[in-house]
């Protein structure tokens, strides 16, 4: 029997099936999830976006005072370590909330897209203590409010967010012939320009040169960040004077008030190579690594017809027959695997929140400190064992991609023996902790529904024990592919 639309939709475009949750019945139901998700407030940052900005401002002020005291011969390393521990604690809570957001949201398509775009505009929370506070804010402020809108708005929000400017060292970039460089030195940093062209917009298959990267870097000079207020502004004294060329176009802002970089971002968002790069990446993420050329063409056409309206691009993807082909060729990434399993176990929100709150008083090793020594740490609680620590062992720690290119999105990266062994170990642990009252065949019916093959059902039925049967469901190829 062929799998139903609802089963494929829930597993391929959302975070799987969940008891007592109605799966999407048609494309409009998926698009409704997108609309609802766009209006929802995420569980992170824990104190809200405004509260997080206030928290960061407070910690920056404390560190500034400590740094000045150290310069005067009165260092206070304990104060510095305390701000470090607070930043780590907040990141840990937010990362747990990030998992809970995906587990408990009824807007699975929106949540999957949020994960896609966070990985596309990748930043790493462990670069500095400020980034521990900014990574959750970046997703909440730049990604989620814009992922259903125009790509140009999403590109601008992500590239110009304080988290991106810190992560790619743009805040320290100075034009070589700018007044600041001539007076006190400073160098041009091309990191943001490189990732902007190669990852965020045109793609690494597009035709651009080292001179284009340099031109983009010069156009971006002048961008400045006040860490205490998180205000991004243009400082003409740091900007490289004159006109700068990117892809054959000259950008010249005579007043040097910074509008040239906004024009550049708009041009990159509207470039044909950007449409192809993003649409290709969406297909490879949701459907298959073997991109259907007809689907890709339809998505690019919708992009061009709507000026990069992402909602319409997603709809074009879903409307193609290949979107709901029965073959499940994509391997779940670790985050998808853990979230889908937790949903299947139907862990109640209050129970998970209680586990998170119980963890909050413990110091854990989920986030390695970038500097300084910290006191001995206690063992983490159940919530972290099932989520943050397991995701780290599987190779996908929350908000910690290995590079600006993000986590890999191909089957080979997640099918390595070590990663597969971690999935089996996680399944055994989760079964012991969460599934005491769940029957193996009931779990199979929950997670695979009409997708479960007769062979899988027979193997689960013949398992020597309940624990073995439940573990087999989560370790089965059918569960791990979407």
Q: pLDDT tens across 154-174, in order? A: 999 999 999 999 999 999 999
Q: Kindly report the pTM of this predicted structure.
A: 0.94
Q: What are phi and psi of 172, to 5 degrees?
A: -100, 0
> How far is C-alpha 121 from the geometric centre of its chain's CA atoms?
7
pLDDT by residue (tens digit) across 252-279?
866 555 789 999 999 999 999 999 999 9
Query: In this structure, which long-range contacts are made by residues 435-440, counting pairs with CB atoms below 8 Å and at least 24 apart in sequence?
Result: 435/345, 435/470, 438/345, 438/470, 439/466, 440/466, 440/469, 440/470, 440/472, 440/473
Question: Mind listing the pLDDT tens digit for each residue in 103-121?
Answer: 999 999 999 999 999 999 9
Give the up-direction half-sphere exposure of residue 36: CA atoms within 13 A in the CB hemisphere: 12
Q: How far apart are CA 452 and CA 444, in angstroms?
A: 7
pLDDT at 377: 44
Q: What is the pLDDT of residues 328-345, one digit of tens each?
A: 999 999 999 999 999 999
Q: Is the pLDDT of residue 125 over 90?
A: yes
Binned at pLDDT 50, 70 and 90, residue 150 comes out as: very high
Average pLDDT score over residue span 121-134: 98
Q: What is the DSSP letter of 189?
A: -
Smallest Cα–Cα separation from 16: which of 29, 25, 7?
7
- pLDDT for the residue numbered 379: 54
Instruction: Give the pair of three-digit tokens for residue 141.
Output: 């402020």
| φ/ψ bin of 401: left (φ > 0), alpha (ψ from -120 to 50), beta (otherwise) | beta
State residue 408's pLDDT score. Answer: 98
Instruction: Quickly state the pLDDT bin for 368 (edges 50, 70, 90).
Output: very low
**Distance separating alpha carbons of residues 55 and 128, to the nearest angstrom:** 15
Six-digit token string for 201: 């917009």
Q: Does the pLDDT at position 403 exceed 90?
A: yes
């Amino acid at each position: 029997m062929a799998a139903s639309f609802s089963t494929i939709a829930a597993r391929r475009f959302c975070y799987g099936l969940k008891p007592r949750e109605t799966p999407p019945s048609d494309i409009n139901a998926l698009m409704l999830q997108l609309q609802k998700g766009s209006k929802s407030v995420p569980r992170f940052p824990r104190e809200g976006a405004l509260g997080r900005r206030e928290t960061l401002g407070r910690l920056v002020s404390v560190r500034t005072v400590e740094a000045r005291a150290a310069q005067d011969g009165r260092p206070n390393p304990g104060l510095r370590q305390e701000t470090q521990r607070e930043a780590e604690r907040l990141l840990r809570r937010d990362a747990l909330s990030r998992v809970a957001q995906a587990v408990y949201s009824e807007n699975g398509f929106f949540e999957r897209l949020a994960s896609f775009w966070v990985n596309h505009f990748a930043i790493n929370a462990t670069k500095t203590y400020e980034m521990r506070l900014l990574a959750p804010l970046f997703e909440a402020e730049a990604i989620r409010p814009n992922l259903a809108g125009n790509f140009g708005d999403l590109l601008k929000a992500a590239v110009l967010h304080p988290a991106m400017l810190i992560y790619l060292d743009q805040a320290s970039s100075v034009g070589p012939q700018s007044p600041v460089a001539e007076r006190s030195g400073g160098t041009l940093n091309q990191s943001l320009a490189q990732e902007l062209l190669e990852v965020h917009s045109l793609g690494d298959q597009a035709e651009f040169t080292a001179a284009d990267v340099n031109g983009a870097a010069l156009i971006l000079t002048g961008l400045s960040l006040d860490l205490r207020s998180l205000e991004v502004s243009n400082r003409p004294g740091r900007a490289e004077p004159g006109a700068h060329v990117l892809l054959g176009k000259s950008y010249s802002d005579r007043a040097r008030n910074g509008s040239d970089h906004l024009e550049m971002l708009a041009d990159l968002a509207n470039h044909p190579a950007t449409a192809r790069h993003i649409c290709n990446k969406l297909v490879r993420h949701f459907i298959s690594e073997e991109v259907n050329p007809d689907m890709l063409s339809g998505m690019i056409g919708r992009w061009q017809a709507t000026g990069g309206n992402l909602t319409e691009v997603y709809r074009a993807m879903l409307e193609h027959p290949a979107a709901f082909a029965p073959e499940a060729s994509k391997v779940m990434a670790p985050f998808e695997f853990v979230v889908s399993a937790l949903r299947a176990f139907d862990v109640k929100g209050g129970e998970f929140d209680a586990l998170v709150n119980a963890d909050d008083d413990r110091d854990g090793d989920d986030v390695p400190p970038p500097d300084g020594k910290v006191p001995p740490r206690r063992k983490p609680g159940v919530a972290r064992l099932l989520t943050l620590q397991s995701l780290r062992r599987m190779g996908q720690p929350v908000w910690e991609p290995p590079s600006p290119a993000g986590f890999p999105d191909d089957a080979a990266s997640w099918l390595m023996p070590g990663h597969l062994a971690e999935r089996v170990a996680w399944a055994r642990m989760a079964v012991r902790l969460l599934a005491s009252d769940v029957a193996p065949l009931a779990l199979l019916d929950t997670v695979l529904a009409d997708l479960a093959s007769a062979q899988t059902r027979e193997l689960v039925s013949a398992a020597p024990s309940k624990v073995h049967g439940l573990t087999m469901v989560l370790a089965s190829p059918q569960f791990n592919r979407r």
